[in-house]
């Protein structure tokens, strides 16, 4: 805070006869933060888990992502292999240290999962923290499990999303984030990703891959 602002606030506190450290005042502020009024939440993403999943799929496809469903995490490598073959991509994919990736049955395919390096690879895979049905958006948190650069640098990004992690709206996603990480704590980066990267800034011509992957393939794992 600048010296001028500090002096102004000090003058206000002096005029009010308070220091800002009074217990009743602090209690009022803490109660206000703990019970903040809820904002308006769109109805589009609401519903039971199957309904939320279908809304998410519709919105993700509308945003030009591709999408597949599998029955379990064990079926993810086969779907990844099919995507790589269908797009004539190399038989290797970069991922982070997420233990769920490590336990998948990669040995049953001819494709190789390698730990993330500098993001210069053509294809990457990551497990999303959650999905938002309202807009078909994925949420990724930073860390060694799912490094942020793998969401942005490769041309193709494959996102694994467990159906049980699809919530109705952004507010519930942020509430889940606080529950997982604890009050007052956050991952260093939280990315919201809706479809592949695109821009139409130049001559109003749509360009895919402007700021990130040209292709986003979402694998929904039906764990609910």
Interval 125-150 mean pLDDT: 94
Q: What pLDDT shows up at residue 159? A: 96
pLDDT in the model for residue 206 = 60
pLDDT at 99: 92
Q: What is the pLDDT of residue 166?
A: 97
- Indicate the pLDDT class of residue 118, thresholds 50, 70 and 90: low
The pLDDT of residue 211 is: 72
pLDDT, position 28: 79
Of 113, 116, 121, residue with least CA distance to 144:
116
Model pLDDT for residues 138-196, shown as the tens digit of each residue:
999 998 899 888 888 889 999 999 999 999 999 999 989 988 988 777 888 999 999 98
Is pLDDT at 46 greater than 60 in this prediction? yes
Checking if the pLDDT of 71 tops 60, the result is yes
For residue 109, name the pLDDT band (cuts at 50, 70, 90): confident
Contact 157, 151 (CB under 8 A): yes
How far apart CA 19 and CA 120 sit, in angstroms, is 54
pLDDT at residue number 70: 96
Residues 6+ apart with CB under 8 A from 118: 149
Question: Sorting pLDDT into bands at 50, 70 and 90, what band is 120?
Answer: confident
Amino acid 220: pLDDT: 98
Three state DSSP letters for the chain: CCHHHHHHHHHHHHHHCCCCCCHHHHHHHHHHHHCCCCCCCCCCCCCCHHHHHHHHHHHHHHCCCEEEEECCHHHHHHHHHHHHHHCCCCCEEEECCCHHHHCCCHHHCCCEEEECCCCCCCEEEEECCEEECCCCEEEEECCCCCCCHHHHCCCEEEEEEEHHHEECCHHHHHHHHHHHHCCCCCCCCEEEECCCCEECCCCCCCEECCCCCCEEEEEEECCC
Give 132 or 37, the one with higher predicted confidence.
Answer: 132
User: In the prediction, which pLDDT does 31 show?
Assistant: 79
Q: Which domains does the chain have, with CATH numbers?
A: 3-34 (no CATH), 49-221 (3.40.50.10420)
Q: What is the mean pLDDT of residues 5-14?
A: 83
Q: pLDDT of 190-224, one tens digit each?
A: 999 999 877 766 666 666 656 778 899 999 999 86
Residue 36 CB coordination number (10 Å): 8
Does 66 score more than 80 pLDDT? yes
pLDDT at 39: 75
């Amino acid at each position: 805070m600048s010296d001028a602002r500090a002096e102004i606030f000090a003058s206000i506190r002096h005029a009010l006869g308070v220091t800002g450290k009074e217990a009743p005042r602090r209690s009022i502020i803490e109660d206000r933060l703990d019970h903040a009024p809820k904002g308006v939440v769109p109805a589009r993403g609401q519903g039971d888990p199957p309904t939320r999943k279908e809304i998410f799929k519709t919105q993700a496809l509308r945003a030009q992502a591709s999408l597949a469903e599998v029955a379990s995490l064990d079926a993810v490598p086969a779907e990844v292999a099919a995507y790589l073959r269908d797009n004539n991509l190399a038989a290797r994919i970069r991922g982070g240290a997420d233990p769920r990736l490590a336990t998948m049955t990669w040995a049953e395919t001819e494709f190789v999962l390698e730990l993330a390096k500098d993001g210069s690879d053509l294809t990457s895979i990551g497990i999303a923290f959650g999905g938002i049905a309202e807009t078909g958006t994925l949420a990724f948190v930073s860390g060694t499990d799912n490094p942020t650069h793998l969401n942005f640098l490769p041309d193709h990004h494959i996102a694994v999303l467990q159906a049980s992690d699809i919530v109705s709206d952004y507010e519930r996603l942020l509430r889940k984030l606080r529950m997982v990480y604890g009050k007052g704590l956050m991952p260093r980066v939280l990315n919201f990703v809706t479809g592949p990267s695109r821009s139409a800034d130049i001559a109003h011509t749509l360009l895919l891959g402007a700021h990130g992957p040209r292709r986003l393939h979402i694998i929904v794992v039906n764990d609910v």
